[in-house]
Amino acid sequence: MSGILSAIEPKNVFAHFEKICDMPHGSGNTAIISDYLRSWAESRGFAVVQEPCGNIIVRVPASAGCEAAPTVILQGHMDMVAVKDADCAKDMEKEGLALQTDGEYVWAKGTSLGGDDGIALAYAMAIAEADDVKHPALELLFTIDEETGMDGALALDPALIHGRRLINLDSEEEGTLLVGCAGGARVDLCMPLEREEISGSAYRLKIAGLQGGHSGAEIHRNRENALLLMGRILGSLGAEAEYRLADLCGGTKDNVIPSEAEALIFCEASAEGSLEKIKKDLLAELISREPGLQITWEKTRETGSVVSGECRDRIIRLLTLLPFGVVKMSAAMPGVVETSANVGTITMSDEFRLTCSVRSMIASARDYLAQQIVVLAALCGCESKVHGAYPGWQYRPESPLRDTMIAVYEKMYGKKPQVEAIHAGLECGLFLEKLPDLDCVSLGPDILDIHSTKERLSIASTARMWDYLKQVLTALC
């Protein structure tokens, strides 16, 4: 571990965060960090439970004088969305992150940072160790694989949870308390491909430089989707020139707006004129909202296989018609996205595979949007599977925890916090299914561009939210 954050205040928080970043902990790869958290708790004499799935529950005694206060749960997830730049050689399955800081932000060189949700673990561990913070009895609940289907929240045995006041530490905007979230599901599409061998002139088309981002938190920002944009380029090219499609790929996760895509096509050099025109038109249209957009191609000689013309056309039709972005805004909460869709990943080999993420504050709207994608996929020759559905978190008119947290914020900062629902999914909805009397609020420091290699954590915001969390816990005594 480099110790690059060792001098940054609050030191205990950033020391824990750096240790977390030093371990690989992408979704599906959380065994190491789960065992580390168990060992950390045991070494400090805390009672700890490690569930078979890897969830960790740590019980921290109340501070002196706070024994009669109801237990508070501090909750976050262990896994991060592990993505990296195309030229980054790091093996994120085996290596930790290369942390960087300029004194204002912390980020990871060439990869995502995992501030979502490593900072939650760091906050909770630092609170448990602090001898200058008055707090009720605590349950630290650390779940696995939130980013790929909330597997830890789904597997949680509710009998292990004693508290009924839960502070979720999985938000990314200081000064905003989240009190509701969207539910979601994943839709996987698959189509067998007919291929034939070919050799000759080929072009590798690339899209890069898009902003990407989280398909919930940033879906309303009108960002371009690299996979759908590549489909648009290929569809426009097919109207002007003959080509054969060999490969199409891009995206990292179903819940990440893809910022890069690549295609391999076989065609004559005369197609370059059409590509230039398509590029010029798209840059003129999109550059104001995607200033980093790059559309490039490289001519090469290739020997390989291409898909049949019928398969190619089905793929292009699908990419032309799939929903992406905001589908409907909420009528109950003005300014909040109700329902949305994201096309997250595409791979091609013997099969064409595509993943979508659908979200909605309303379960029936989520299910209907998923069904629309299923029907559209069938019309384009694809089989589909809807899975990983999880519930939303409905706003509750009465919440003593929320009232206390608002009052503490107003006392500290002289103004009320924003109280909002978020379109991204949080585990609170699943916890409430298991424990209906749970009182939940979510908070966190400023984290920019989560789920991307541009992700960065604000140092000053982390310190302010640390102070706020301590004051909230004291007030709850």
Which runs of consecutive H residues, i.e. helices, occur in 239-308? 271-286
Contacts of 381 (CB under 8 A, 6+ apart): 191, 311, 314
CB 250 within 8 A of CB 230: yes
Cα dist from 52 to 20, 195, 450, whole Å: 21, 44, 29
Contacts of 343 (CB under 8 A, 6+ apart): 225, 227, 228, 251, 258, 319, 322, 324, 354, 355, 356
Helices and strands (H and E) in the chain: how many: 11, 23
Q: Which tokens is 295 given?
A: 């559309």
- The residues with which 384 forms a beta bridge, in sequence order, are 189
- How far apart are the C-alpha atoms of 311 and 14, rounded to whole Å? 51
Residues that are catalytic = 79, 146
Q: Is residue 140 within a helix (H) or strand (E), and if so which, with residue range?
A: strand 138-143
- First CA to last CA across the chain, in angstroms? 37
- Residues shown for the chain: 477
Coil, strand or helix: which one is 73?
A: strand
